[in-house]
Structure 1
Amino acid sequence: MKKLFLSLVAVAAIGTLVLVACSKENSKNGTTVKIRMTDNPVNAEAVNVDIQQIRVKFREDSLGGWMNLDTHAGVYDLLGLQNGVDTLLAIGVVPADTLKEIRFVLGANNSIRVAGIDYPLSVPSGSESGLKIKVDKRLNGTLDSLLIDFDAALSIHQTGNGDYQLRPVLKIK
């Protein structure tokens, strides 16, 4: 089963690379970047994450701050994003420069469904400073698409009092 899953991930990665390589969406002021999301399996019926904004940051000396991408804000069930399924979260024209970080700003509507019961997922600093991913990737003058694996299985922790906490594990695929 694990071998099949790894094969599917490899096929999805190759397909993404082919799409990125074949795309020629250029801009005089920079490049277009797309942020996509997928997930690994977890023992729950639903894992809902409220994504409000995606921000990107480039080299310290180039822009000096965060850029907001055009984000498809909403509540996403991570379990619907498994086995090669992903979704477009954000897109925007950015400088052809070195992308250093991606920040996910979360809202308050995060939850997990276990045995038919919805439980709130608390997210330490998710709506304040956001969840950051270190990237260090040079974006060229063509379309760049980054696939983020929001690993629900490693991100969800049940506390001693039965509450659930989301400490996101995010990886670039």
Structure 2
Amino acid sequence: MKFNRFLSFAALAALALTGCSKDSDSASANSSKLEVRLTDAPGDFRSVTLDVRQVEVHLKDEAQADGWQFLSFTPQMVDILNYVNGKSALLVSTDFAPGDIKEIRLILGPNSTVTGNDGFVYDLKTPSGQSSGVKLKLDKVTLRPNETFQLLLDFDVAKSIKERGNWDKNKKKEERYILKPVIRLISQEIAGVLFGQVTPAAALPQILAIRSSLTPADTFSTFADASGAFRLQGLPSGTYRVEFYPTTTAPAGQPAYRSMTLTGKTVTNNQATDLQVTRLD
């Protein structure tokens, strides 16, 4: 038989996507979510820009060098003085296999700078001994399925930036400061929940919870089950926009299913927020 030869490209693509979706949904259902954020204790400078190149976590005992795992991260310049008084920069937000994490390592590049109160931009040199990165030990951190775990790196500017003892103000100003990062690690399980019901249940919508109080926004997703119930777990605290997208069409003669958006929904750690019933017809 030769009918396979005539199977359309679109159909093949649909089959492939269906398979990928099932695998992805299965993996997502069993995964944790890991966030790494950076905040700052203020210092007496106009700005402090860190050249953040890489973020890694260690999954085994410290003596095992092969235990390091890269996290999904785009190298970036972060002016940490923008993240004080409860604000924080989101470095990593990724699905992660449940289990223990022993250490986290922050790799900084050579282009970090500090702008002094004199308005001059100084290079921040990192000692060669710290070229392997800033390592921070974790105490009994276990990522559990369907929960979010947050690692907050509290960078102390005042203690981290030192003036060179032999610096000559009549020579290169760029060599005035040296960077010896002092970072306090705060770790916490995040267990906020959004739940509710959609009707008609036959719409089988995908549901996105978008943390609009964060820039850039962070997105979590799930699907309603056959009864129309849904539950999003492991959500960090914040204000969310919740979007509903039907994945089926209404039977002939019935009102069409439509997308819906709920705004201003608040999530609090260790509490469940009931969104009640959302109509999609």
Percent of residue pairs identical: 35
Cα deviations by residue, 1:137-164 (Å, 9 ceiling, x for unpaired): 1222211112110111111110113321
CA distance in 2: counterparts of 1:85 and 1:150, whole angstroms: 12
Moved more, 47-56 or 61-70: 61-70
AA aligned to 1:86 is S
Larger RCO, structures 1/2 (Cα 8 Å, 6+ apart):
1
Cα deviations by residue, 1:111-152 (Å, 9 ceiling, x for unpaired): 111110011111124873111111131222211112110111
**Equivalent residue for 1:124, pick from 103, 124, 127:** 127
CA distance in 1: counterparts of 2:88 and 2:74, whole angstroms: 13
**Mapping of 1:1-173 within 5 angstroms?**
27-28=28-29, 30-60=31-61, 64-114=66-116, 115-125=118-128, 128-136=131-139, 137-141=141-145, 142-162=147-167, 163-173=176-186
TM-score of the two chains, using structure 2 as the length reference: 0.49
The Cα shift of 1:63 comes to 9.8
Task: Tell me if structure 1 keeps the 8 A contact 2:60–2:67.
Answer: no
AA aligned to 2:136 is I
Task: Tell me if structure 2 keeps the 8 A contact 1:50–1:75.
Answer: yes
CA distance in 1: counterparts of 2:129 and 2:47, whole angstroms: 19
CA distance in 2: counterparts of 1:50 and 1:29, whole angstroms: 34
TM-score of the two chains, using structure 1 as the length reference: 0.77
List alignment gaps of at least 5 residues for structure 1: 1-25
Structure 1 residues 170 and 143: alpha-carbon distance in aligned structure 2, compared to 1, 3 A threshold: same
CA distance in 1: counterparts of 2:94 and 2:130, whole angstroms: 22
CA distance in 1: counterparts of 2:129 and 2:110, whole angstroms: 9
AA aligned to 1:124 is P
Structure ID, larger Rg: 2
Structure 1 residues 92 and 67: alpha-carbon distance in aligned structure 2, compared to 1, 3 A threshold: farther
SS of structure 2 residue aligned to 1:146 = strand
SS of structure 2 residue aligned to 1:71 = coil
List alignment gaps of at least 5 residues for structure 2: 1-26, 168-175, 187-281
Structure 1's consecutive aligned runs of 4 or more residues displaced over 4 angstroms after TM superposition are: 61-64
CA distance in 2: counterparts of 1:39 and 1:79, whole angstroms: 6
SS of structure 2 residue aligned to 1:70 = coil
